[in-house]
Amino acid sequence: MASGEKRVEIEKELSFGPVHPALIEPYRIRLFVNDEIVEDCELNINMAYRGIEKLFDGLPVERALLIAERVCGICSHVHAWNAVRVIEGGLSIVVPPRANYIRVLTNEMQRITSHLILFGHAFEVVGHETFAMRSFLLRESFMDLISYVGGNRVMPSVPIIGGVRPRADLTESLKRVILERVDEFEEKYKGYVTRIIEDPLVMSRLTGIGFLTKEDAVRFYATGPTGRASGWDYDVRTKMDEYKPFEFNVITDESCDTKARIVVRALEIFESLKIIRQVVKSLPEGPVVNQSWKAEEMDFTTAYLEAYRGELMHSYALDSHGRIRNYKIRTPTPTNLAAMEHACVGDHVTEAILTIASCDPCLTCCTRAEVVDSGRSRILSDFEIVQKYGWRK
Amino acid sequence: MNLKATSRKNAIHIMVAYTGGCNGCDIEIVNAVLSPRYDVEQYRVLLTWNPREADVLIVSGVVTWQMVEPLKKIYESIPEPKGVVAVGACAVNGNVYKNLVGDIGQNEEIWAPVETVIPVDVKVPGCAPRPEDVITGVVKALPKILEAP
Amino acid sequence: MDNLLFFPLLLIISSVVAAAVAILYSLVLPGIERKVQARIQQRIGPPILTPGFWSVLKFGYKRRIEPTAQIPGLYKSLVYFGVGIIVLIFLFSTPYWWAVLGWGSVLGIAGLLKLEEVLYVLMGSQSQSFLSAGMPVPDLAKGSKHVGIRREFVEQHSAERALKMMAIGSLPFYIALLVPFAMAKSGMISSVVAMQNPAYMLTSEWWSVPLPSNPVIFTLPGIIAALVYFVGYVMLLNEKPFSILKAKIDLIEGGVLEYASKLRAYYYLMRNMLMFALSSIFVTLFIGIPFDPFMPLMMLLNIALSLILPVMLATLVAFSPILTFRQIYPAAIGLSAFGILALVISLGV
């Protein structure tokens, strides 16, 4: 290879998916490799396209929450919460502080389960079954807590417009259970993290691969733990009113590699535990839901929230009948995808898949059609696609 | 009971095919398989990712357009006798994506339920079903496999 | 053994008995392996017979389905070759074969093992599962950065990795295999056993259990070589941490992806049998207790001691990730160095 010249010749292409052990959701990885080294990567994510944004159009806003929660099964609470935050912001609905506390509590509990899924998945990809199983076992204690609060392990449906469901109100006994479980969990989890960090084989697999520099992270807008592992201390939680009463640190790591992305998430769980303790100990008394609101015409409103994988945006407008118009969701994964594709270049094939997994892709959230036209890319609305190409029937 | 049925009862290989749901069911299935709390292996159920090895296909999710052909192909690749378990409300009836639509009236992006694509033997409803339900579903698919020639 | 007239008859009977016992026993091993792993992972795990015995039987009862391969006939025959080769490897380590044409020697074992490794290359180049490149999804875009690039099936990639593993990965195993022969200053298994267990060569009663007087494993080069042999065993079996050629997370299962129903039963047999054969050879060469079908107690002792390597393997599998070539090359070279050290010491002794 000539000095400074980028090698462009590509020997072959390896493609995996959509049904494959390394992927927990339908997408397709196309790796362009020379021998075993990945030269370029292309992620095709449109296998999960369900046309969600279009479904919202014309639905009464209360019913739309049902769909919003089912945008993603791992971060169901964030989507439901952010959907209600839009209308609460747009129509200035006052949310009782107790409801906000409970929403934060559920959010942090689900953040822990989400990060533990990542560990389970990442260690499955590393090939270390024991750590993966330990992670899933640890996760169970928080799945139980979520089902105690919301009644379902996966879709707790805690937030409703103006507060939380009365069923999700915390009783004294539940508070005690949560504190006990959190203590128990923290002890076990510390041992788990120590064992990971002290395992030389696992660490040799994780370190030194999948570099994503801070400049690249900012350029691709890789938010969430992926960006924070590159030293970019961007966390929407620091700007949110709901998180004002609580004290927590934003974890960043300067080492920019796959290990950093795992470590950042591992340490974030401790911060989440801290927040959960604060919520339960300083839970204010009062009602949990404010029902004195009425759906009326609302201008296009946007709400941002720190989901478990990065910044999440929901925005919609309401027409004069209180029906939803122009629902737009931007999940963290589309921006993180570009970062993933960039980060896995130059690694071994097996490591490239680990890098992609360590960015925690959650592609079911949102997929869009995109027309790439001579270098300029443009996002088409569903209507335009239908007009131009017709239904794919 | 003859040797054939005994051997089939004692080693069941399951394969998971996710066809574009919300991930919740996938995680619960993986939970059922991987989490030591549920641990399907103690019920003689082993997880595989190769359709040639599988006996029971677990399908989750609404079937999106792009997943129709892969799903059919996976189903065809499984040697007889085989069973299909549709897990989750999406696979059983389309869940909110099919039944809660606004102005467009009909969601044309999805093929749910799974029955319209491949024959389904057992349906496990729930959004998302608990891991215990998934295990029960796999067990309910057994009689068909045991009795097959 | 002195009666030449009865020798072929005895050879055939001993081979049949040995093969039958070995195949039946090897079907229990994966269950034990899985159970040990499950216990380490704090769960109950499958019943002992499920992953081996019942799985093989079940695949035998499945309806035949044609594999997708470049030459299906060749692809199907490879697995029969595999079973044959491994049964032969095992038989060569049993006493009646030691006298046949010098097959019961280091050359017989190493040569056949090399053949077995080549099978993975052939399987990989033949199999064309739809799970990778053949998946019917629209993923080729006209505006893509890379157009018209050769698409490869994961099995072909597995074949390339198998070649690399053949060249480097299995080297430590063969060096460790040489050490007992070097200590006996002979290439024949019989002299290795005679060195460790002189009593065995003299007894002819079927009930006696002559124990080895000076096993190789209790000498300095022997213990080093035994450790290297163990790691080489893991590499030859393509188990974690050296399972790169059938790494589940990118190659799913590698070249054996397309084996279905009966062929998959044979593949299971082949793999389980290899696990047992190498373990039994270890006991024969390093401890000096051969698998003698006409001395049942000796045979049982060999079978019992053959559990050591699979249990160690299961523990290693539970505690280790998949290593990539970044780690495999240094590991293989380091282990080979250890093996050569053991070889040098043993030649000096």
Contact A201 C321 (CB under 8 A): yes
Contact C324 A42 (CB under 8 A): no
Burial class of residue C235, CB neighbours in 10 A (0-12, 13-18, 19+): buried
Which candidate in C33, C39, C54, C271 is best for mutational testing of the B interface (most B CBs within 10 A)?
C54
Contact A201 C320 (CB under 8 A): yes
Contact A49 B65 (CB under 8 A): yes
β-pair partners for A306 = A311
Cβ–Cβ under 8 Å, residues A284 and A308: no
Which residues from B are below 8 Å from C135, CB to CB? 70, 73
Cβ–Cβ under 8 Å, residues B27 and A117: yes
Q: Is the peptide bond before B113 cis (omega within 30 degrees of 0)?
A: yes
Residue of A95 and A23 predicted with greater confidence = A95
Contact A373 C154 (CB under 8 A): no
Distance, CA of B35 to CA of B38 (rounded, Å): 6
B18, B27, B108 ranked by CB distance to A117: nearest: B27
Residues of C with CB under 8 A from a CB of A: 37, 40-43, 131-133, 135, 137, 139, 141, 143-146, 149-152, 154, 157, 160-161, 240-241, 243-244, 247-250, 252, 317-327
Contact B36 A52 (CB under 8 A): no
Q: What is the pLDDT of residues C30-59, one digit of tens each?
A: 999 889 988 888 888 889 888 889 999 888
Using the predicted structure, report yes or no on whether residue A190 has a pLDDT greater than 90: yes
Contact A137 B25 (CB under 8 A): no
Instruction: Read off the tokens for B47.
Output: 């997880």
pLDDT of A392 reads: 42
Which residues from A are below 8 Å from C145, CB to CB? 40, 42
pLDDT of A372 reads: 45
For residue B43, the domain's CATH number is: 3.40.50.12280
Nearest residue of A to residue C331 by CA position? A201
Lowest-confidence pick of A154-163, A330-339, C270-279: A330-339
C258/chain B closest Cα distance in angstroms: 6
Using the predicted structure, report yes or no on whether residue C142 has a pLDDT greater than 60: yes
Cβ–Cβ under 8 Å, residues C228 and C345: no
A288/chain C closest Cα distance in angstroms: 41
Lowest-confidence pick of A3-7, A200-204, A301-305, B119-123: A3-7
Structure confidence at residue A184 as a pLDDT band (50, 70, 90) = very high
Distance, CA of C285 to CA of C225 (rounded, Å): 11
Instruction: Read off the tokens for A48.
Output: 């999960």
User: Domain A49-386 maps to which CATH number in 3.40.50.410, 3.40.50.300, 1.10.645.10, 1.10.1740.10?
Assistant: 1.10.645.10
- The list of chain B residues with pLDDT below 70 reads 1
Q: What is the pLDDT of residues A351-369, one digit of tens each?
A: 888 888 877 777 665 555 4
Which candidate in B35, B42, B107 is best for mutational testing of the A interface (most A CBs within 10 A)?
B35
pLDDT of C349 reads: 58
Contact A19 B74 (CB under 8 A): yes
Q: B131 in a domain, yes or no?
A: yes
Q: What is the pLDDT of residues A219-237, one digit of tens each?
A: 888 888 888 888 888 888 8
pLDDT of A364 reads: 60
Distance, CA of A265 to CA of C205 (rounded, Å): 66
Compute φ and ψ for A159, nearest 5 degrees.
-80, 140
Query: How many CA atoms does the CB half-sphere of C286 hold within 13 Å?
Result: 28
pLDDT of A220 reads: 83
Compute φ and ψ for A61, nearest 5 degrees.
-65, -30
Compute φ and ψ for A326, nearest 5 degrees.
55, 60
Q: What is the pLDDT of residues C183-208, one digit of tens each?
A: 888 888 888 888 888 888 777 777 77
Contact B26 A324 (CB under 8 A): no
Between the two ends of chain A, the Cα-to-Cα distance in Å is: 48
Contact A136 B34 (CB under 8 A): yes
Using the predicted structure, report yes or no on whether residue A2 has a pLDDT greater than 50: no
Contact A50 B110 (CB under 8 A): yes
Cβ–Cβ under 8 Å, residues B26 and B76: no
**Residue C284: closest CA among C303, C310, C271, C270:** C303
pLDDT of A30 reads: 85
Interchain contact A49–C (C-beta under 8 A)? no
pLDDT of A4 reads: 46
Q: What is the pLDDT of residues C271-314, one digit of tens each?
A: 999 999 999 989 888 888 888 888 888 888 888 888 888 999 99
Distance, CA of C119 to CA of C125 (rounded, Å): 10
C329/chain A closest Cα distance in angstroms: 14
Distance, CA of C131 to CA of A15 (rounded, Å): 9
The structural domain count of chain B equals 1
Instruction: Give, to the nearest 10 degrees, the angle between helix A349-358 and helix A332-343.
Output: 160
Q: Which residues of C117-133 are buried (b: 16+ CB within 10 A; e: fewer)?
A: bbbbbbbbbbbbbbbbb
A54, A59, A72 ranked by CB distance to B22: nearest: A72
Domain with B11, as residue range(s), is: 3-143
Nearest residue of C to residue B82 by CA position? C62
Q: B149 in a domain, yes or no?
A: no
pLDDT of C327 reads: 84
Nearest residue of C to residue A23 by CA position? C249
Using the predicted structure, report yes or no on whether residue A371 has a pLDDT greater than 50: no
pLDDT of A385 reads: 53
Distance, CA of A46 to CA of B67 (rounded, Å): 10
Q: Which H helix or E strand runs over A298?
A: strand A298-306
Q: Which residues of A48-82 are buried (b: 16+ CB within 10 A; e: fewer)?
A: bbbbbbbbbbbbebeebbbbbbbbbbbbbbbbbbb
Residue range C165-171: mean pLDDT, rounded: 84
Sign of CA pseudo-dihedral A121, B82, A17, B27: negative
Q: What is the pLDDT of residues A7-32, one digit of tens each?
A: 567 888 888 878 888 777 788 888 88
Burial class of residue C269, CB neighbours in 10 A (0-12, 13-18, 19+): buried
Question: What are the strands, taking DSSP E only, across chain C?
Answer: 151-152
Contact C44 B44 (CB under 8 A): no
Structure confidence at residue A1 as a pLDDT band (50, 70, 90) = very low
β-pair partners for A19 = none
Structure confidence at residue A324 as a pLDDT band (50, 70, 90) = confident
Structure confidence at residue C2 as a pLDDT band (50, 70, 90) = low
Q: B148 in a domain, yes or no?
A: no
Q: How far is CA C135 from CA C123, C139, C157, in A?
A: 20, 9, 16
Which residues from A are below 8 Å from B96, CB to CB? 55, 66-67, 70
Which residues from B are below 8 Å from C67, CB to CB? 52
To the nearest 10°, report the CA torsion of C287, C293, C297, C299: 40
Which strands form B56-60's sheet, in the order they lie side by side?
A: B45-48, B12-18, B56-60, B83-87, B122-124
Domain ranges across chain A: 49-386
A17/chain C closest Cα distance in angstroms: 7
Amino acid occupying residue C195:
M
Instruction: Return all residues near C64 (Cβ < 8 A) that are at least 6 apart.
Output: B79, C260, C261, C262
To the nearest 10°, report the CA torsion of C203, C205, C206, C209: -50
Cβ–Cβ under 8 Å, residues C241 and A127: yes
Q: What is the pLDDT of residues C64-118, one digit of tens each?
A: 888 888 888 898 898 899 999 998 888 888 888 887 777 778 888 888 888 888 8
Q: Is the peptide bond before A156 cis (omega within 30 degrees of 0)?
A: no
Q: What is the pLDDT of residues A241-271, one digit of tens each?
A: 888 888 888 888 888 888 888 888 899 999 9
Instruction: Read off the tokens for B1.
Output: 């009971």
Instruction: Read off the tokens for B59.
Output: 């399908």
Interchain contact B2–C (C-beta under 8 A)? no
Instruction: Read off the tokens for C46.
Output: 């499958």
ipTM above 0.90, yes or no: no
Q: Which H helix or E strand runs over A139?
A: helix A129-150
Which residues from A are below 8 Å from B64, CB to CB? 26, 47-50
Structure confidence at residue C1 as a pLDDT band (50, 70, 90) = very low
Contact B69 C137 (CB under 8 A): yes
Contact A11 C150 (CB under 8 A): yes
Which candidate in C326, C327, C328 is best for mutational testing of the A interface (most A CBs within 10 A)?
C326
Q: Is the peptide bond before B128 cis (omega within 30 degrees of 0)?
A: yes
